[in-house]
Amino acid sequence: MRTLLLLCLCVYVAWAGSFDYDDYDSVSVKPTVAARGHRPLSRGHDSYRPNRYSPPPINTGGRYRGRPSTTVPDKGRQEQEKEEQPEAGGCTHASEQMGVLCPTGCELKTALVKQERNVKGLKSQVNDLSRSTNNVYNYVDHMSNSLRERQRVINENNRVVNQYTNNVEEQHAYIKETVDTVFPSNIRVLQGVVDKIRLKIQKLEKAILAQNEGCKEPCSTTCPIPVVSGKECEDIFRRGGRDSQMYMIQPDAFYPPYKVFCDQTTEKGGWLVIQNRLDGSVDFGRRWDDYRRGFGNIGFDVGKGHCETPGEYWLGNDRISQITKMGPTELLIEMEDWTGTKVHAQYQQFTLQSETSNYILAVDAYSGTAGNAFMEGSNELFGENRTMTIHNGMMFSTYDRDNDNWNPGDPSKQCSKEDGGGWWYNRCHSANPNGRYYIGGSYTRHMAKHGTDDGVVWMNWKGSWYSLKAISMKIRPFFPSK
């Protein structure tokens, strides 16, 4: 009975073991698939569901015996099978190729080694599958987080789009209302203004036509030039020309004579007017060549048959320089505000250098009631700010030739360009007789072209923001006894 039980046990174990290791030898293990597989998902069209957990396959027991091997065993295995085992017990097939009929202890050991090897291979596959599963899980988790983040961004974008849509609708409603109501009203008002301007233009055209008709014939002067002439007005005064009017002078016999206005009444006469402003009829924002040659109207007739009233003009730097270098010369500057009040500034020494030195100004020995702007600068300022407004020793500047002390060579920092005329600018002025003419006196920086005090200014009398009604500059030979 014991022998029968042992025989049955051997048959069962051999049957089960043969099936298992033959089964594992015949089954090929599929390679591990990447997390995304060999076909990536198409965004927006596919969905991904991870595989559910599956238990590992059964690796023990079996229902069938293993099939006889038809392959010739290798030499090492053949020798192992031919090795005589102590427990063989003579339980073999008739044919050696059929192997041992009943299992012995050695064959059980061999079966167990094969099972252990198969189990190790299966464990390695399980570990690979576990890693692949973890990779798939991590990828799915990352995709889920990305999806939630994108959903949040989409929601935020939708909120912003809705907000901008509401703003656009409000702006559209406002624009529509403006176009439908405000614009037509403004257009009607502007149309009325255009009609009025058109009527004014028509009136001006008629006036221009009338003026052209009156100017068809050449204009003739009504100011006869006096017979008396001389080198300058003092010479004319000593020759008998005692009336203040326009005369001809010739300081140098090598140069032709020219017209000037002589003041023969102020302080015993003999004054030659080199500059005059009285009504703003002449633009003093001129180029260098204009100031060098001179410009404006010397005088005009008020109905008495001779030019006894000076016009607005600048005699010319060349002529002024020529006269002052003939000998000691004094300068008289007379001013008047818009209430009729008059003051003056007088310098007993006045010289203007030639063009080669850019007409440098030199004055001395001040007296008067207007304030010594040329030599002391503005009384409203102190320290370096005041020194910057002194004109004595400065070169002449115009908007096209910058010779002032305010960043020389920098076109954006030019006194003449900002202050309206040619002058002996420093950085920039305390006196600006050739500035822009403002009717009424007081003006503001908002009225000025560049926001600067560009009027006809004498700061030591009326300050920076008061433009004088009249100012004139006169010269004559200096002599101690008057």
CATH (domain of 275): 3.90.215.10
pLDDT value of position 25: 40
Residues of the chain with pLDDT under 70: 1-107, 215-222, 302-306, 481-482
Tell me, yes or no, whether 149 and 233 share the same domain.
no
pLDDT value of position 406: 83
pLDDT value of position 30: 43
Domain range for residue 444? 229-477
In a domain, 100, yes or no: yes
Beta strands in 292-339 (DSSP E): 295-296, 299-300, 309-310, 313-314, 329-336
Tell me, yes or no, whether 147 and 252 share the same domain.
no
Tell me, yes or no, whether 242 and 149 share the same domain.
no
Tell me, yes or no, whether 318 and 457 share the same domain.
yes
Domain end, chosen from 153, 183, 202, is at 153
How far, in Å, CA of 465 to CA of 284, rounded? 19
pLDDT value of position 233: 93
Tell me, yes or no, whether 304 and 407 share the same domain.
yes
pLDDT value of position 31: 42
pLDDT value of position 333: 97
Closest CA to 396 of 358, 427, 428: 358
pLDDT per residue as tens digits for the range 57-85: 545 554 445 555 555 455 544 445 555 54
- Looking only at the bridges linking them, the beta strands covering 245-249 and 229-230 are parallel
In a domain, 47, yes or no: no
Tell me, yes or no, whether 306 and 418 share the same domain.
yes
* Count: domains in the chain: 2
In a domain, 197, yes or no: no
Tell me, yes or no, whether 338 and 464 share the same domain.
yes
Count of all residues that appear for the chain in the document:
482
pLDDT value of position 431: 95
Domain end, chosen from 127, 153, 179, is at 153
pLDDT value of position 57: 57
Percent of the chain with pLDDT over 70: 74
In a domain, 103, yes or no: yes
Tell me, yes or no, whether 322 and 411 share the same domain.
yes
pLDDT value of position 183: 83
Could you tell me how far CA 424 lies from the centroid of its own chain? 36
Instruction: For residue 209, report the phi and psi dihedrals to the nearest 5 degrees.
Output: -60, -40
Domain end, chosen from 105, 135, 153, is at 153
Tell me, yes or no, whether 148 and 242 share the same domain.
no
Tell me, yes or no, whether 116 and 247 share the same domain.
no
Closest CA to 352 of 377, 326, 390: 326
Beta strands in 353-407 (DSSP E): 361-368
Tell me, yes or no, whether 446 and 313 share the same domain.
yes
pLDDT value of position 274: 96
Question: Residue 21: is it exposed, middle or buried by C-beta count within 10 angstroms (0-12/13-18/19+)?
Answer: middle
In a domain, 172, yes or no: no
Tell me, yes or no, whether 333 and 463 share the same domain.
yes
